[in-house]
Amino acid sequence: MEWYEVALGLLGLLMFFIALGLPIPFALGAASLPFLWQIQGFSTSLVSSELKLWGVWIDYILLAVPLFVFLGELIGRSNIGPNLYKLMHERVRVHGSAAYGSIGACAGFGAVCGSSMVGSLTIGGVALPEMIKLGYDRRLSSGVLAAGGTLSVLIPPSLILLFYGIVTDQSIGELFIAGVIPGFLLITMFVIVVVIWSRMRPSDIPESEPVPALRFRDFLFTVGPIALIGLVITVSIYAGIATPTEAAGISALLTVLLAFGVGGLKWKGFVAALFATMRTMGYLGLLLSAGVLFGFVLTYYRVPHQFTELFLSFDLSPYLVLAIVLAFYIVLGMFLEPVSMTFITLPTIFPLMHAAGFDLIWFGVVYTITMEIAVLTPPVGLNLYVIQGIGRGQVTIGDVIIGCVPFIGALVLLIALMIFIPDIALWLPAAMR
């Protein structure tokens, strides 16, 4: 079969199975199997499929995924995450502290948890009712929290950067390092968005908020656990002391101790975190396994290589290629969630970006920012529905979408800055080599 017949056939079957309502992992596997049978025959392909699927579940690198998910669940179910928001809102004497505190708390949570949805759920569950009660505009409140959750995707450790590194065979440590400066830049941009919003619509932010005095003990027991977990992850990986998997294991054990010791975690919450992790990994594990089969078929028929050659034959400028790819992901992100997009499209896209002359570490950060836009764009923007669900009828999906628009603008601006100044992502990894 010709490569384009395989590509169109895979895409057509995948869209057909998704339209039937089949979950994406099963749709990926079902689309791959007919072509796998063409390669190996029915009986052989069943055995090789079992081996490839099992290989994903016992992969040492992928063990970091459930450990980081478990870490985030522990923080979300203890008082560590909610207390971080309360500290930054209630104890910091700044007008509009609830909005700035939400951004700061999401950033702090992002430094220990790689999931955007968990970030929005944990901080948003505490912050949204409080902000609405204080008199903050519903659109501003929901937009800050939906967008703030995306900081977990960019600030390391990031599950999307981890998956990107696995698919593209890039250094996960370097990818994490590359996300640090863009992550802090994005925090600054989000703060500027709130400042501009408060100037343009001063009635959306209450004039006064009750602000008790900040005690050192409160600061230590709230910021301390987050800072300690974040330091263990970053220093152990960046200093070469531990692999990302080892760092995830150490930080997960540390989080268990801190969650019980200072986070008020109960045994019931610990068990709930375990079950939540298993449910998440049940989906992610199947998705990873099906993605391996899908990628094997693509690679066997040389679809990524041939697609790259065809695209480059049009003699387009590298930046036009990049613009087309980013536009493709923004549109696709309206219908698919980021993890699925990573395993469906990235095996074909990243060789094209490499051939166009772009650094794959740099593109990994740009790709991750694009995935942040994906979780904020309807109709399938995960963070939108998380925040709407937390609002319990006080916030409509329209409020969340409108509230996210200026923050999406900040994400687009960050991509533009990184195109003009690639060293935003590349300087720190180069300096630490």
Q: How confident is the model at residue 218 (pLDDT cuts 50, 70, 90)?
A: low
Determine the Cα–Cα distance for residues 110 and 306; give it in Å rounded to an integer: 38
Which residues are CB-contacts of 218 (< 8 A; sequence separation ≥ 6)? Answer: 87, 91
Paired tokens of 318: 């590298």
Rounded CA-CA distance 36/44 in Å is: 9
CA distance 429 to 141: 35
The whole-angstrom separation of Cα 233 and Cα 301 is 39
The residues, ordered by sequence, that sit 6+ positions from 412 with a Cβ below 8 Å of its Cβ are 373
| Region 315-325 average pLDDT | 90
Report in angstroms the alpha-carbon separations of 219 from 76, 104, 223. 19, 14, 6
Q: What is the DSSP string of 321-374?
A: HHHHHHHHHHHHTTTS-HHHHHHHHHHHHHHHHHHTT--HHHHHHHHHHHHHHH
On the question of pLDDT at 421 being above 60, the answer is yes
Dihedral angle sign, alpha carbons of residues 96, 99, 103, 109: positive
Per-residue pLDDT, 91: 60
Alpha carbons 327 and 310: distance in angstroms, whole number: 19
Residue 182: its pLDDT value, please?
A: 94
Six-digit token string for 111: 């430094």
The residue behind tokens 């028929």 is 301
Question: Contact, 115 vs 141, CB < 8 A?
Answer: no
Residue entry with tokens 């974040």: 230
pLDDT at residue 23 is higher than 60: yes
Task: Give how far Cα 181 sits from Cα of 210, 355, 415, 418, 424, Å.
Answer: 33, 26, 13, 11, 6
Q: Length of the chain, please?
A: 433
When pLDDT is averaged across residues 57-62 and rounded to a whole number, the result is 75
| pLDDT computed for residue 211 by the predictor | 55
The pLDDT of residue 111 is 75
| Listed residue (431, 429, 433) closest to 182, CA to CA | 429
pLDDT in tens, 361-390: 999 999 999 988 888 888 767 788 888 888
Q: Is the pLDDT of residue 213 over 60?
A: no
Q: What rounded mean pLDDT belongs to the chain? A: 84
pLDDT at 217 over 70: no
Q: Which residues contact 18 (CB under 8 A, 6 or more apart)?
A: 24, 27
The pLDDT score that the predictor gives to residue 190 is 93
Q: State the average pLDDT over residues 1-6.
A: 80
**Where do we find the tokens 């054990």?**
253
pLDDT at 93: 63
The predicted pLDDT at position 193 comes to: 94
Looking up tokens 């066997």 gives: 300
Residues 103, 140 contacting (CB under 8 angstroms): no
Backbone angles phi, psi at 204, to 5 degrees: -80, -10
Q: Is the pLDDT at 261 greater than 80, yes or no?
A: yes
